[in-house]
Amino acid sequence: MWEHHPIPYKPNEELITVTTFNIQYGKGIDNRVDLNRTIETLRGLEADIISLQEVERNSFRSYFTDQVTTIANALGMNAVFSPSLNYPGLYYGNAILSKYPIEDTATIPFSNRIENRTAMLTKLTISEEQSIYVLNTHLGLNRSERLEAIDEIHDRLKRLDQPILLTGDLNSLPKHEEYRVWESLLTKTNKGIPIQTFHNQDWQIDYIFHSSDFIVKETRVTQSEASDHFPVTALLLLKP
């Protein structure tokens, strides 16, 4: 269900719906890979911007499907893919889908290579006068690696001069040290409202953070069996 933040909408403000979803390459909690189920889950969210983690292209375990193109075509969205792993038979990473034009995108490899983790930074054209940046990442299971990655992400974000959204599976609970670092940089859309984003665990590890250019109107988690994670969706006002 929606969590409401009652803020009046002004006609000259841009209303943007953003979703982040770790799709586990289309594998649901029943251990079946079914990308159509993933697509229908996303379709129901009606998001303008979608950040995906654990998405694959032409990999053996997802039946050599180009998942990025398949999802984007089904939803009628623009898309860009950023690989984290590129091994024979396994091409895996993050993706951003957008109803807005994609201006530019870059992959940010992390220097600590305990795991092959990356972030992607994508610039979207919201209007003739306005662009925003969306950073999408899937951080590792090692805490020291996550802290180093946050430093590298912060170094990149502080150079930007446009509104920022940070999305992804951060593998951090709100009680963790690295989560407090995130909160010192940006604001969580469900600030003060606990949510569960992982099956069978009372955890939030999937987040949407935003710069002060946005006002949160609503946040929700959608119960789904399409992955071991639940999608998180936020309705945001972009200030003029």
Is the pLDDT reported for residue 13 higher than 80?
Answer: no
pLDDT of res. 1: 28
Residue ranges and CATH numbers for the domains of the chain are: 2-238 (3.60.10.10)
Contacts of 122 (CB under 8 A, 6+ apart): 80, 96, 98, 102, 104, 105, 106, 133, 134, 135, 136
Is the pLDDT reported for residue 239 higher than 70?
Answer: yes
* Whole-number Å distance between alpha carbons of 97 and 51: 7
pTM of the model: 0.93
- Strand partners of residue 53: 22
Q: What is the pLDDT of residues 142-193, one digit of tens each?
A: 999 999 999 999 999 999 999 999 999 999 999 998 998 999 999 999 999 9
Mean pLDDT of all residues in 79-97: 90
How many CA atoms are closer than 13 Å to the CA of 131, on its beta-carbon side? 14
